[in-house]
Amino acid sequence: MRSTIEFVKRVSNSVYYIFFMDFPRAYLIFAVLFACFLGLQLFLYVRARDYLKRRLRPETYRAVVLATAGSLFLCVLYPLAWHALFGPRAVEPLAIAVRSLMAVWVFGSGGLAAALLVYELWQKARRALVSPSPPSPDLARRALLQTAVGFAVAAPFVVSGYGVVLGRRRFRVEHFDLPLEGLSSSLSQLSLVHLTDIHAGPFMPAEELAEYVEAVNRLKPDVIALTGDFVSTQTDEADMCVSALAGLRARYGVFACLGNHDAWAGVEDELTRLFETNGVRVLRNDAASVRVGNTVVNVLGIDDLRIGGPDLDRALEVARQGPGELRLLLSHRPEVFPGASRKGVEVVLSGHYHGGQVKLGTSPGSLSVARLMTPYAEGLFRLSRRAMASPRDAKDSVLFVGRGVGITGLPIRINCPPQIAHLTLKKA
């Protein structure tokens, strides 16, 4: 019987790793999405070419229009080609203008092509199922259809433009309760502010980051948690980011862990040094004990799960030297949650996925690219530890995944505004 249970556990762990911790599958997802995008672009090009053949003369004018469309498509490939030639950390000339144009084109043209494709399929299905009736000229109906087509063409580009110009900048302060079982009165109502995925750089300049710092300080939090990806790609972004975040103020301190972009940029040590100099405790497989009233909170932090050399066991061992009532773990990626819960961690704060940046709806569960990559794209999650290996410690564990404030890749946010998360511990 015991061997059967062990076998089931091993299989469960393997399945969990393959589907939830196998990070390279993200590249497969992006490859599939890129192939779909290329297909939609080809479909749009063919339809545009056919339309221009019917509408435009002379040939030279049509060629100019098609060349313009081709140039826009090449803008999409520009960052990929640049980094393929000069390396992943190479600075892109005209990064802001080109990436903004690229974002509008990717989502605008993609949305338009998808709408046209659905419309054509619907028309074909309707003709196949309904016998055709003799056409009758209706000028009013024709004008209405032309207006509707104009709106349909413009809408994806208008939405994309909003996401680039305003959507990525209009942040929200959102309030969440974290109900925890057995919480003492000293920790009940303890307030945490969570910031993640800042990505200092062209799309997060110092003056914009200062607005976030001011908004956080107005909340007067007890603890501030920063969960990585402070820079985008460049080493000089570290100093600017830390200089701005040095203005954060919290009653019991500011704590941070590092993310994958910090490792890619090679600024982990520099960020740690700069933060420590400015009063921010960086936890790299480490823990700090914070006294709150007559109790203690252990704040733990680990390096990025994929490329940062994480060691949760080491952080837990440090925490045991000053054991507290509550263990709060900072991890850039949220997939650590099930394992951390099994090891007695009550609260995990993470980011990494930006909520997907572009979602079909506004709710945390709305479809996005992030939803295809992880079960923990955004929002609050809870795991019961009653069914785990240590039933004597029966408290539930809570994970909060923030949408972040910065962007990577395309500078756009649709239905997914930047987020300052204000979390309050409550007794369940």
CATH number at residue 203: 3.60.21.10
- Domain's final residue, options 110, 132, 166: 166
- CB under 8 Å to 181, separation ≥6 — which residues? 394, 395, 396, 427, 428
CA atoms of 188 and 174, how far apart (whole Å):
19
- Domain's final residue, options 134, 166, 198: 166
The DSSP code for 421 is E
Question: String of b and e for 400-409 (b: at least 16 CB within 10 Å)?
Answer: bbbbbbbbbe
Residue 53 pLDDT exceeds 80 = no
Residue numbers of the domain that contains 312: 171-427
Q: Are residues 264 and 127 in the same domain?
A: no
pLDDT digits (tens, 9 = 90+) for 319-333: 999 999 999 999 999
343's tokens:
């090891």
Q: Are residues 270 and 310 in the same domain?
A: yes
6 half-sphere exposure, CB direction, 13 A CA radius: 3
Q: How many domains does the chain have?
A: 2
Residue 334 in domain = yes
Please report which confidence band the pLDDT of residue 143 belongs to, taking 50, 70 and 90 as the band edges.
Answer: low
Q: Are residues 195 and 55 in the same domain?
A: no
Q: Are residues 284 and 408 in the same domain?
A: yes
Residue 15 in domain = no
Largest Cα–Cα separation, the chain: 85
Q: Are residues 252 and 392 in the same domain?
A: yes
CA atoms of 191 and 193, how far apart (whole Å):
7
Residue 84 in domain = yes
pLDDT digits (tens, 9 = 90+) for 260-290: 999 999 999 999 999 999 999 999 999 999 9
Contact call for residues 326 and 346 (beta carbons, < 8 A): yes
Residue 344 in domain = yes
CA atoms of 339 and 231, how far apart (whole Å):
28
Residue 1 in domain = no
Q: Are residues 175 and 100 in the same domain?
A: no
Peptide bond preceding 323: is omega within 30 degrees of 0, i.e. cis? Answer: no
Q: Are residues 196 and 224 in the same domain?
A: yes
Nearest CA-CA partner of 400 in 121, 174, 115, 160: 174
Strand, helix or coil for residue 280: strand
What phi-psi label fits residue 285: left (phi over 0), alpha (psi between -120 and 50 degrees) or beta?
A: left
Residue 91 in domain = yes
- CB under 8 Å to 382, separation ≥6 — which residues? 396, 397, 398, 399
Question: String of b and e for 219-252 (b: at least 16 CB within 10 Å)?
Answer: bebbbbbbbbbbbbbbeebbebbbebbbebebeb
Q: Which of 5-9, 54-58, 231-235 has the highest mean pLDDT?
A: 231-235
More confident residue, 63 or 310: 310
Q: Are residues 418 and 365 in the same domain?
A: yes
Strand, helix or coil for residue 349: strand
Residue 332 in domain = yes
pLDDT for 409 equals 84
Nearest CA-CA partner of 26 in 423, 413, 352: 352
Mean pLDDT value of segment 214-227: 98
- Domain's final residue, options 166, 189, 209: 166
pLDDT for 395 equals 73
- What pTM was estimated for this model as a whole? 0.85
- CB under 8 Å to 399, separation ≥6 — which residues? 334, 337, 347, 348, 349, 350, 376, 380, 381, 382, 383
Residue 385 pLDDT exceeds 70 = no
Contact call for residues 197 and 229 (beta carbons, < 8 A): yes
pLDDT for 151 equals 74
Q: Are residues 206 and 350 in the same domain?
A: yes
pLDDT for 148 equals 67
Least confident of 9-13, 53-57, 190-194: 9-13
Residue 17 in domain = no
Q: Are residues 364 and 400 in the same domain?
A: yes
Q: Are residues 156 and 175 in the same domain?
A: no
Q: Are residues 269 and 405 in the same domain?
A: yes
Is 215 exposed, middle or buried, given 0-12, 13-18 or 19+ CB atoms closer than 10 A?
middle
Residue 12 pLDDT exceeds 60 = no
Mean pLDDT value of segment 309-317: 95
